[in-house]
Amino acid sequence: EAQVTQNPRYLITVTGKKLTVTCSQNMNHEYMSWYRQDPGLGLRQIYYSMNVEVTDKGDVPEGYKVSRKEKRNFPLILESPSPNQTSLYFCASSPIPKGYEQYFGPGTRLTVT
Amino acid sequence: AQKITQTQPGMFVQEKEAVTLDCTYDTSDPSYGLFWYKQPSSGEMIFLIYQGSYDQQNATEGRYSLNFQKARKSANLVISASQLGDSAMYFCAMREGLVLTGGGNKLTFGTGTQLKVEL
């Protein structure tokens, strides 16, 4: 089954404790990205990657890091989480050039206390 | 300026009735794509329908249709014969430019419309 998976689905952590949210897709898609969703703001892009070793900032990259060492994986790293990073996070992937096909993961609900 | 505007924070519709969710967009790029997603209370994002800026006909997918009015820059979602399971948050989104350019596949989202279907 074609899918994007994220882990963990739910996470409660404390300020400053480094964490990684994993994202993996099994569709051989070149393009992957991370979004965060906050009430009243819709979804905003954090980082994206056009292919292996090619990443770039989205609209709200502060406080986040990413890496793309393999085509299927695109982890999101919070080196020192803060309460304002409490949010619902989505990973998405799509093939190039059929960018209208965008597949979302199930979401990761992160709470930073 | 907001690139995607959804002016209806919440909507109610009776079961079996049709409902229109509004979306207006702002772009100077002649190449763009418009998307609608459904987000039920469980949280996942479900793709509903897509309209390309050069598509001549309005997109349709089952009970969903996109009323694309290019000159007015609007891309309203029409759901026919509403069902209780249609109760969810609905997001309109836009992708500007060509996919192959850097960042070209970013989706810019509106703030969403919460739809409630009633008996």
For residue range B63-82, list pLDDT tens digits in order. 999 999 999 999 999 999 99
pLDDT at A52: 92
Name chain A contacts of B33, Cβ cutoff 8 Å: 99-100
Minimum mean pLDDT range among A22-26, A51-55, B115-119: A51-55
Over residues A8-19, mean pLDDT = 97
Judged by CB atoms closer than 8 Å, whether chains meet at A100 and B35 is answered as yes
pLDDT in tens, A87-112: 999 999 988 766 567 889 999 999 99
> Which residues on chain B are in Cβ contact (under 8 Å) with A35?
107, 109
Contacts of A46 in chain B (CB under 8 A): none
Q: Are the CB atoms for A96 and B29 separated by under 8 Å?
A: no
Tell me the three state secondary structure of residue A64: coil
Count of C-beta atoms within a 10 Å radius of residue A94:
24
- Closest by Cα among B106, B102, B99, B109 to B31: B99
Decide if B105 and A43 are in contact by the 8 Å CB cutoff.
Answer: no
**What integer pLDDT is reported at residue B96 of this predicted model?**
84
Q: CA of B14, closest CA in chain A: separation in Å?
A: 25
Q: What DSSP element (H or E) covers B46?
A: strand B46-52
Peptide bond into A8 cis (omega under 30): yes
CA nearest to A31 within chain B:
B105
